Amino acid sequence: MKEQFKPLFENFALRSGITLKNRIVLAPMTNFSSNPDGTVTKEEVAYYARRSNGVGAVITACTYVTPNGKGFHGEFGADTDDLIQSLNELATAIKQRGAKVILQIFHGGRACPPELVPNGETVSASDVAPNAEGAKQPRPLTEPEIHEIIDAFGEATRRAIEAGYDGVEIHGANGYLIHQFFSPHTNRRDDQWGGSLENRMRFPLAVTAAVKKAVAEHAKQPFIVGYRFSPEEQEEDGFTMADTFELVNALADQELDYLHVSLMDFWSRPRRGADESKTRYEWIVDRVGDRVPVMGVGSIHTAEDAQKALASGAPLLAIGRELIVDPDWVEKIQEGRESEIITTLTKNDQDRVLVPDPLWQAIINSPGWFPVVD
């Protein structure tokens, strides 16, 4: 390994007591490849296992905590005890290859396809429909339902513990239910769950508290709790970087193992709520980086990109598309073969990268998502 890349392979001790063998994490990416009943498939297990040798940890694709939270076709579930065995199959395959495994837990809210949820009824903080042609208007959740979903995040955490996971990541980003409660664009409530910034933060913090409570009650050994969030919204009436500073400040008080900024580009700069003198990531680290590790992600393609991101203050880096294109990305850097990293896909590469059919079709038929060449 080249001297300049050695910092990528230093151990990292998390607050919970778990130590990651290096600073590289497989980012959570939906793969559309689970069975309709929420169990994982053999192809999905093989896909994860193929990418688990080099990384310090694997964050799984999101898994739904209630039946009305299923956000994707081919998504696996954590909403009933019947799924613990299936969850364990995936955890075991990843851990056998030396990586820690973190289950990402979520509720899709208004983003759920109606055909995937009971009675076709989507729910959210308020009745604001997604900005897409033909999008269904969600039903606002009642007070008892809000508490049921909060409790469901705790129960999904218990199942993750029983299934042998090393941790969970609360998915509060990318427009899903927790994000919908935090956003003034999607949360128009006038009760304790909406209105002021303090009230809009109540649901994310209540979910975090339920997850932490489940860990305290059920985990017999150290267990990771992370939280993923989006830094700001495009909508004029959406949340800004200034709002996010308040959220991450509150989350930093929760003694989490890490925060995970959801970014398409690690080096992107703010739109609103902070000036452009720093990147979004740098602003967040400046605010809370001394209290909680902030994981970086987004367009980190090469070993040099990763080294630069780490040097900018990122203690952990999540790598996504690059580990789909080249599952040996980490090992090649570690072995001094970074020049051999494969950076593009061809339509004949499915067997090489061991990607299940549903994800492969999405990659091939979504121009611009992945670097696919003839």
Which of 124, 95, 127 shows the shortest CA–CA distance to 111?
124
Which one, of 141, 165, 216, lies nearest residue 63 by Cα?
Answer: 165
Q: Which residues are catalytic?
A: 176
Query: Is residue 222 within 8 Å of residue 165, measured between CB atoms?
Result: no
Q: What is the largest distance, in Å, between two alpha-carbon atoms of the chain?
A: 58
Spatial CB neighbours of 175, under 8 Å, sequence gap ≥ 6? 111, 130, 230
